[in-house]
Amino acid sequence: MFKQKFRTGLSLVVALVTCPCHLPLTLPLILSLTAGTTLGAFLSQNPIVAIAVSTLIFIAALSYALRSQGKSQAVCELPIQKGEEGLI
């Protein structure tokens, strides 16, 4: 149970960091951390790639967090008795 909550929280943090709306803050940080490398040179010349990859990671992390959040919550279903199908 703890591992599942930890993974859900970690994926939410990843989704928060890679959110495309935060990219004006995180892209310069990524470029400064990768300065002097081939990756840094590629990303500085092609920022669209960074935006696309960041968006894909954001969608994947958020969907994982939402799916795992839904699995952790127990749903109580009441049995439907015969003749009560039309009530809902």
The per-residue pLDDT for range 14-58, each reduced to its tens digit, is 999 889 898 899 889 989 999 999 999 999 999 999 899 999 999
Q: Are 11 and 64 in contact (CB under 8 A)?
A: yes
Q: Are 52 and 9 in contact (CB under 8 A)?
A: no
Give the total residue count for the chain: 88
| pTM value > 0.85 | no
Lowest mean pLDDT among 6-15, 50-59, 64-73, 79-88: 79-88
Amino acid symbol at 15: A
What sections of 1-88 are H helices per DSSP?
2-17, 23-33, 38-45, 47-72
Whose CA is closest to 4, among 83, 72, 73? Answer: 72
Indicate whether 11 pLDDT > 80: yes
